[in-house]
Amino acid sequence: MSSGQPVIWRSLRCFTLICGVLGHDAAVKLGGVAGKLVGFFSFSRTARARSRAARILGVTDERAREIVSGAYEHFGKALVEFIRLPKIYGNIDEFVAVRGGENIRKALSVGHGAIFLSAHIGCWEYGAAVLAKHGVPMNALGTEQRDERITKAIADTRAGVGVKPVGKGMDLRAALTCLKKNEVLAVLLDQDAKDGGILSPFLGHLASTPFGMIKIAHKYGIPVVPVHITRDEDGRRMTMIIEAPLEGRDGRPFGEDIKYAVDKCNERISEWIREKPEQWMWMYPRWESTLNDR
């Protein structure tokens, strides 16, 4: 654990207590303000995010500033929404509208489970929770944080709303276990895989992309279903869209042509980001392996 982690942990605990006392709307609004403040004081990281957004999207510096500022505000709100998820879980349908539910039934009818392709966009934690509430057996791959207490807190919150945490990172063995039970595994694919990925266009620029889950999908005949959930214009409600399972080139099984499959996954995620750029994590160096993006 680094020297700064205890301070982060104590700050997070204090913030969690405050958010628990406030009403939901007030707490989420506070999260948005806190997110903007973090962006304001994170000078170098915010500047890199603005440069990244301008270069990748081909927008003006002014527009990039708006996008990154919106992203900090959005993820500040999303943090509070995650913190408060156990409190509002019983009424989560008031916050989330789901479209394409029939595609879940279609995917699970195969009997091999389903891989939900998603990304760090919008309010993905609410998406998994609302499906779990309605009886969809949800599993989510976890990412190990620098502070193990934060890792545990995230896993405990997910488990408390019916979303089972699966290993750490790309734990393929644990992933296979839940898929063999005809359950859903949610995978966030918008991460830099460094030397272990396939180079594929992401928002029009080559990025190293993980492909282990796609290989598993092909080997075991598991449908890959694109799913994303974004905040509506009112800032309070969210819309979750579940798309039809992805298909391979010329009607062949998805994943048989691994490069084509990875390209299709990145294509879907890129479309979502272009639609709601303020709700994607521009602070993350997605192209670090290919564009020296630090």
Strands 205-209 and 198-202: antiparallel
C-alpha pair distances (Å), 188 with each of 98, 185, 227: 19, 10, 10
Q: Is the pLDDT of residue 8 over 80?
A: no
Asked if residue 116 lies in contact with residue 225, where contact means CB atoms within 8 angstroms, the answer is yes
- Find, among 7, 41, 59, 76, the residue nearest to 273 by Cα: 59
Question: Using CA atoms, how far apart are residues 54 and 64, in angstroms rounded to an integer?
Answer: 5
Just give the CATH number of 5-291: 3.40.1130
Q: What is the pLDDT of residues 183-192, one digit of tens each?
A: 999 999 999 9
Structure confidence at residue 37 as a pLDDT band (50, 70, 90): very high
Question: Using CA atoms, how far apart are residues 270 and 266, in angstroms rounded to an integer?
Answer: 6
What would the mean pLDDT of 61-86 be, rounded to a whole number? Answer: 95
Which pLDDT value is given to residue 5?
A: 65
pTM for the full predicted model: 0.91
Residue spans per domain, the chain: 5-291
